[in-house]
Structure formats: structure tokens, C-alpha cells
Amino acid sequence: MASAWWDPSGPTKLLHRMNIARVKYMRHRICEEAGINVMSAKPFQGLNFLDAGCGGGLLTESLARLGGTVTGIDASYESIVICKDRSHHEESPGERTYLHSTIGEKLSTQQKALFDVVCCMEVLEHVDHVEYFLDQLVDLTKPGGHIFLSTINRTLRSFAMTILVAEYLARLTPVGTHDWTKYIKPQELVSLLRRRQCYILDVAGMDYELDKEAWALNTRDVSCNYVIHARRPQD
């Protein structure tokens, strides 16, 4: 089970390729804001991360290897089993903990404002109650802390690319993975964050280039996938 998730040519190959781009983006954005040398081997040393909806742990493991102390949570028990199995075989990836939990369970009541960086990647498009979910994410972020959210815009192009092409034609993701009605426009997500007093630092588009089999990030085209970097204000 773990080997299938972590196979870069297997069913999660798109996430493996996306993970490269999103880690590079987070590294650049955090280092720029904090005045850290982006070429440092451990630029996230001393930072506490939450990876909300960690899946099989791709992002969690990457952040830990860069020096972060990372907590990965997921509502899927099977995903946490995969994460823990992988962590037992990974050589010195850094400090990380995996919890079977939703964002609104014991984590939010026991660990409010604990994390320097809260990440929620490729999750919001699957959430039923987005506003409540965002409340929990912001509550878990330290004053002045970073929030990274990546999701999918609700456009005709995103319907064509993520459902018609990715699910039905190219079979890059399983059929039924996405529900277009749950996609969130960037201006909607920006508005929700601002209503929670967060500062928006950057909005960047992500495009999958089929010819290169890689994700291009930092584009201004947000018509499909995009990522937002925000900060919680200092109290």
C-alpha cells in the first residue's frame, strides 16, 4: 500500500510532480519573508508545520527533510497507516508526527496557535464546509504565521483539464476524484481569508505541462490550479 503511494510513476504520479513545485514555492516564499538563505540545506529549521490533509505524506516528508518539525494529519486512517509505514523506512528525514484526525477534532482544541506554518494542499476542493475549515486552519496558525493553500479554480478550463482530460481521457487520476461544484475561485478564497484578518502575500497559478510531465508554478494564469500564500496578523 505504501509502496504504491510512493511510486513516482504510479497512480499518485501527478502529486509527486506537483509536490516538487509546491515545496520549491514554499521554500522561496518563507525564505524571502524571513530573510533566510534559500540555498540553505535546512531552511525550515526551528519552524513548526502543520500539513492538514497530508494524504500519504509527500509534503510532510519533504518539509521535514528541509528541517521543519512537521505534524501531518488526515481524516483517512488508511493514509496515516501509509505515512507511518513510510516514516519507519525513511532515513533521517527530520522530525514529523502523523495523527489520524480531522482539522476540527482534538487538534484544534488542544493546539491552537501552535504552528508557524499551516499548509492545506489539494484539500479544499473536497471540503463540504469551507468557512468552518478555514476558521480551524487560521486558529492553528501562530500570530504572524504563514498559511499556504492550494486548490482548483471553478472555471470551464478547470472542468476540462481536471475532469474531462485528467480523469476520463488521460486517466491521470481516478474517475470521480473531483466535484467541479466544490472548486473555489481565487477571489472567493482571498475574500474568505481577508474576512479572517489574514494578509494575502501572493497568488500563483500552477499548470501541468504534458510535454515536460512537470508542473510550472509562479504563473499568473490562475484559471485552473493555484496556490495562495497568506499570513495571520500579529495579535
Q: In what order do the strands lie in the sheet with 96-100?
A: 96-100, 69-74, 48-52, 115-121, 141-152, 225-231, 199-209, 214-219
H or E element: which one contains 2? Answer: helix 2-5
The torsion angle over the Cα atoms of residues 84, 89, 90 and 94, rounded to 10 degrees, is 50
Residue 100 has which C-alpha cell?
A: 489520524
| Lowest pLDDT segment from 63-77, 103-117, 122-136, 194-208 | 103-117
**Segment 3-30, tens digit of pLDDT:** 577 888 887 888 899 999 999 999 999 9
Give the pLDDT mean for 206-222.
Answer: 88
Nearest alpha-carbon partner for 185 in 217, 156, 212, 155: 155
Nearest alpha-carbon partner for 167 in 183, 180, 155, 149: 180
* Distance (Å, whole) CA 47 – CA 49: 6
Please give the single-letter amino acid code of residue 108.
S
Give the pLDDT mean for 137-148.
Answer: 95
pLDDT of residue 87: 77
Q: What is the overall mean pLDDT for the chain?
A: 90
Count of Cβ atoms closer than 10 Å to residue 188 Cβ: 13
Of residues 146 and 172, more confidently modeled: 146
User: Class of the 2-231 domain?
Assistant: alpha beta
Residue 213 has which C-alpha cell?
A: 510531465
Beta-strand (E) ranges in the chain? 48-52, 69-74, 96-100, 115-121, 141-152, 199-209, 214-219, 225-231
Residue 50 has which C-alpha cell?
A: 502543520
**Segment 77-132, tens digit of pLDDT:** 999 999 988 877 666 567 999 999 888 665 655 556 689 999 999 999 999 999 99
pLDDT of residue 115: 94
Of residues 88 and 150, more confidently modeled: 150
| Domain edges within the chain | 2-231
